[in-house]
Amino acid sequence: KAGVTQTPRYLIKTRGQQVTLSCSPISGHRSVSWYQQTPGQGLQFLFEYFSETQRNKGNFPGRFSGRQFSNSRSEMNVSTLELGDSALYLCASSQRTSGAIMSHEQYFGPGTRLTVT
Amino acid sequence: AQTVTQSQPEMSVQEAETVTLSCTYDTSESDYYLFWYKQPPSRQMILVIRQEAYKQQNATENRFSVNFQKAAKSFSLKISDSQLGDAAMYFCAYSFYNQGGKLIFGQGTELSVKP
């Protein structure tokens, strides 16, 4: 099976702009989670989507949003970019049945490196 | 607070030797899963090993094994016969049974392997 893919891999944006990142999960995986990784804050959970619904949300401002499509692909959007949004954004997928996670094992994509100038 | 603490920011091991990475966590939940992930310089996160909190038996995956002490909330990773390819950042993490899509990570331990 193909792994989790993320596009684009690298992105440079200007403060105040908005950005959309894309994630395609492993075939058959219906849950997609997003994480932000920075040197200062480490790895922080952003949100999780399952069946096109947000199931969990981390402590991030409303500028960070996401969605999931019927084919389980997910997008993450950050509006009004700030310098502090520069980070590696990781997407992970896992198998999940309705109401529960099957294995809790998350498989990560290669990440999108976002630089805000 | 739900936290994961990795007290060793950096560790070093000689090739073919054994090294143990420490992890402690704090949670009041009783049902959860614990993981070790590896992140090499490529930044690709790779699942190394997982442990269900309800299982007393320590998980093992080839050269990787864990020492899970539930009462002490400790979850250390032992790497035997270390190889150059083991050099990476290692993250300890857990997820709750009813929030499986949310991993809570420690700050990581950077492991270097000396030839």
Round to the nearest angstrom and report the end-to-end CA distance of chain B. Answer: 40
Chain B hits for A68, CB-CB cut-off 8 Å, are none
Mutate to test the interface with B, among A10, A50, A60, A104 (most CBs of B within 10 A): A104
- Strand duo B24-26 + B64-69: pairing: unpaired
Q: pLDDT in tens for each of the 117 residues of chain A?
A: 789 999 999 999 999 999 999 999 999 899 999 999 999 999 999 999 998 999 889 999 999 999 999 999 999 999 999 999 999 999 999 987 655 555 678 999 999 999 999
**Residue A11 burial (10 A CB sphere; 0-12, 13-18, 19+):** middle
Chain B hits for A41, CB-CB cut-off 8 Å, are none
Which residues in chain B come in under a pLDDT of 50?
A: none
C-alpha span between A72 and A49 (Å, rounded): 9
Is some CB atom of chain A closer than 8 A to the CB atom of B40? no
In sequence order, the β-bridge partners of residue A78 are: A19, A64
Nearest CB neighbour to A42, from listed B37, B44, B108: B108
C-alpha span between B43 and B2 (Å, rounded): 25
pLDDT in tens, B41-74: 988 999 999 998 888 889 999 999 999 999 999 9
Task: Outline where B1-115 has alpha helix (H).
Answer: none
Q: What is the pLDDT of residue B28?
A: 85
Q: What is the pLDDT of residue B103?
A: 93
List residues in chain A touching B: CB distance below 8 A.
31, 33, 35, 42-45, 48, 50, 55-56, 58, 88, 90, 92, 94, 96, 100-101, 104-108, 110-111
Given its phi and psi angles, is residue B54 left (phi above 0), alpha (psi -120 to 50 degrees) or beta? alpha
Chain A hits for B107, CB-CB cut-off 8 Å, are 42
- Find, in chain A, the residue whose alpha carbon is nearest to that of B35: A105
